[in-house]
Amino acid sequence: MQRGRTRELPEIIITSFTDAEDYRKQYAAATARRYRASHPRKRKPEPTEVEKAAKLEKRRQYTREYDRKLRENAETRKELNRKRVERAKADPHYLDKRRVIVQKYRRKRRLVVLAHYGADGTPVCRHCGFDDPRALVIDHINDDGAVHRKTAKGLIYFWLIKQNFPEGFQTLCANCNTIKEYERTHEKLIARALCGLTRG
């Protein structure tokens, strides 16, 4: 048996720790190959249509039983949740802890939205490449933010995630967003002035 093992390995002279480590790896690989050759993997036969139907019915029965238990214990779960909330609110630092958790969650969602509408999937400004998330905002490309704010509810970051990231938005830094708004307002003023001159 020993001869069969050594025949599968190359003859090497162990002179250092690295040689010994290489020999150990080669020996383990040869042992694994010999084991796989003598123990072929047995594949499970494909289930028949009857077995598939029985398995599906068993899963459906489990789901129905699970839903029934949830409905029966609904009041109990509500009572447990109410007591848990009361215990948490009894903690003098409850509001501070909750505020930290909410801020961390909002910050994470905000970075996801900024990265989606940024350049190459990263939270950077589309115009100048500024990459500090603290000064990045979501801009309406078509300048219809006023109309959007009247219809959308809540923070724009959560609204965008809920709507599966619709088109018409981009990530800008505060400077580029202010410059864009200034240019848009300035163009309106110039258009009004020209309109007044033409009428006169």
Q: Of 139, 141, 143, 119, which Cα lies nearest the Cα of 131?
A: 119
Q: Of 195, 134, 144, which Cα lies nearest the Cα of 168?
A: 144
Nearest 5°: the CA angle 74, 75, 80 is: 100
What pTM was estimated for this model as a whole?
Answer: 0.52
User: pLDDT 10s digit of each residue in the chain, 200 long?
Assistant: 444 444 445 555 555 556 677 778 888 888 888 888 887 777 778 888 888 899 999 999 999 998 888 888 877 878 888 888 888 888 888 888 888 989 999 999 999 999 999 988 889 999 898 989 999 999 999 888 888 888 877 788 999 998 899 999 999 999 999 998 888 887 777 766 666 655 55
- Residue 38 CA to residue 77 CA, distance in Å, equals 55
